[in-house]
Structure formats: C-alpha cells, structure tokens
Amino acid sequence: MATARHTTKSAKSSGRSSAKAAPKKAAARPAAKAPAKAAAKPAAGERMTLAQAMRELEAAGSPKTRQTYARHGAEEPMFGVAFGTLFKMQKRVRVDHDLALALWDTGNFDARCFAMKIADPARITPETLDRWAREHRMRGVNLYVASLASESPHGGKKLREWLASSDPALRAMGWCLAGVMSARDESIPDAWFMDRLEQMEKTIHSVTDAERSAMNGALIQIGCRNQALRKAAIATSKRIGKVQVDHGDTACKTPDATPYIEKTWAHSTKMGFESPAAHERSRESMRTRC
C-alpha cells in the first residue's frame, strides 16, 4: 500500500531520528514469526555475476535520475537507475541471495536497491537485516527493507527490537515494518496495534522527520487492517491533527491519514476485498512489484 505521494516511485521519507524511543508498555506482543512451512523453491532465473550486474546498472543510469535521487536522500556512489529498470532486472534474475550480498557490499545505491529486490527472505539473517536497515540512505527504500524483514522468519523479532532500539534509524524502520506487517501478518493481535496507535498519539509530534513520517505511514496502514482498527486509527488521526514533515527540496507531501484511510478502503472494497489489508495480501510483495 502506498502511504505518501511523491514525484518518484521510491520517494517516501526515511532517514535518521534523534528522538528517544518511547517507553515500552506491557501489552500483547507480536509473535516471533516462526519459520513457515517449507516454501516452494524460488523459480530459477537468469544467472548474473557481480561484474555483469554492475555493468548493466551503470549503463542504465542517468544524470537526471541521479539528481532526483540525491534530492530524496540517496548518496554517492550511484548511477541513477530508474526503478522501472530495476523491476525488469529483478524479473529476469528473480532470487539470487549471494549476488544480493555482493551488490550490497559495493556501497552503490542502485546496486543496493537491486540487492533488496533479489535477496532471499529465507536466507537473510537478523544481522544482515540490521545492517541494511541502518545503511540504506534514501527515503522510500525503507519499505524495501521492511518488506524483506516481514517476509523472513525474523519479522516479529525485528519488529520488537527495532521499535525499542536506541538507534534512530532502526526505530524509523520499526515503524515501517509495523505498517507492512499490519497488512501482511494476521497472527499479530489487534491489541498490539492499538498500543502502537496510543504510542503514536503521544509521541508523533516530538520525534524527528524520519520517525514521524514512518509513524504516519504506519498509522494509515494500521487503519487499513480491519474495521475495528480503521475506526481506532481515524480517531487517533483526528486527535493527532496535521502531521508536518520536512521533505526538503522535493515535491513530496505528507498524506493526511483520515482521508487516505477512507480512500484506500473505498478502493479495496470496490475491488471486492474485505479490507485493504486483504487486498495487499493478495498481491506480490511491494519489494518486487515496485
């Protein structure tokens, strides 16, 4: 589910926050995601060496796209590869975890975006998820990391750890993951999400931009989980009021949660789904579809 409007597909806010993590409240906890029943082995795709991948990425880059990405927080080195091109490359390669790890280690922004698309959730380690959550540098790419974590056996554990972290980058990522898992993971009790709404209401205006933007996105996604949380999230949104996020030199705007939730419900139910969350579960992961 999209949670922000912007000029590029990947320009949702992410970054660093200096706020202290809110005290944890004893409440229902998201269950650590048990390793799923043996999933079908990913269909084999085209094999590509690191050198081949980097040559193809470099050839696909453009100065204009590089400038756009830089405005949204991406850092050099980068080629400026359009996300549509990364999408096509992922469809060819499908899953190649070893290549994903090698791509990440280059430090190149475009290589890292491609890495997150072809990584294998079944093989990703908690340590690698932590590293990628800290090291990504562009607003919007946080949803790739969060989606990868949610698909892995470590989703529930990372959710708890990141939200409680003293590292501002991990806390912001925790809110992104909370939003993703509100749609994707039906095993988490609604009470846990109710507690997160209460936490947002108390802290959203006192945290810095990255965490505030991620909280606002999670507020919208939680409101799309089911009817009870729809009502609770809209009430929370009205009490919170206008959420201000500095998007820098971009055309990005922070969505107003209440109309965004209602618009998403109208779209998904018109499509025949019980909820926007059910609609999202019927789709391919945003990590590989966007």
At 69, give phi and psi (nearest 5°): -60, -40
Around Cβ 241, how many Cβ atoms within 10 Å?
10
Rounded (5°) CA angle 142-108-132? 35
Q: Count of alpha carbons within 13 Å of 276, Cβ hemisphere only?
A: 24
CA-nearest of 89, 77, 138, 141 to 118 is: 89
* pLDDT digit string (tens) for the chain, length 290 residues: 434 434 333 333 333 333 344 444 444 556 544 444 434 455 678 999 999 999 999 999 999 999 999 999 999 999 999 999 999 999 999 999 999 999 999 999 999 999 999 999 999 999 999 999 999 878 778 999 999 999 999 999 999 999 999 988 899 999 999 999 999 999 999 999 999 999 999 999 999 899 999 999 999 999 999 999 999 999 999 999 999 999 888 899 999 999 999 999 999 999 999 999 999 999 999 999 98
d(CA 234, CA 124): 35
Beta strands in 143-290 (DSSP E): none
Residues 6+ apart with CB under 8 A from 104: 111, 112, 115, 132, 135
Count of Cβ atoms closer than 10 Å to residue 243 Cβ: 18
Q: Assign residue 278 a region (left: φ > 0; alpha: ψ between -120 and 50; beta: otherwise).
A: alpha
CB burial readout 185-198, b (16+ within 10 A) else e: beebeeebbbbbbe
Question: What's at 75, amino acid-wise?
Answer: E
The answer to whether the CB of 72 falls within 8 A of the CB of 8 is yes
Q: How long a stretch of residues is the chain?
A: 290
Q: What are phi and psi for residue 254, nearest 5 degrees?
A: -85, 120
How far CA 178 is from CA of 18, 36, 188, in Å, comes to 20, 19, 10
- DSSP structure class, residue 37: S
221 and 255 Cβ atoms separated by less than 8 Å: no
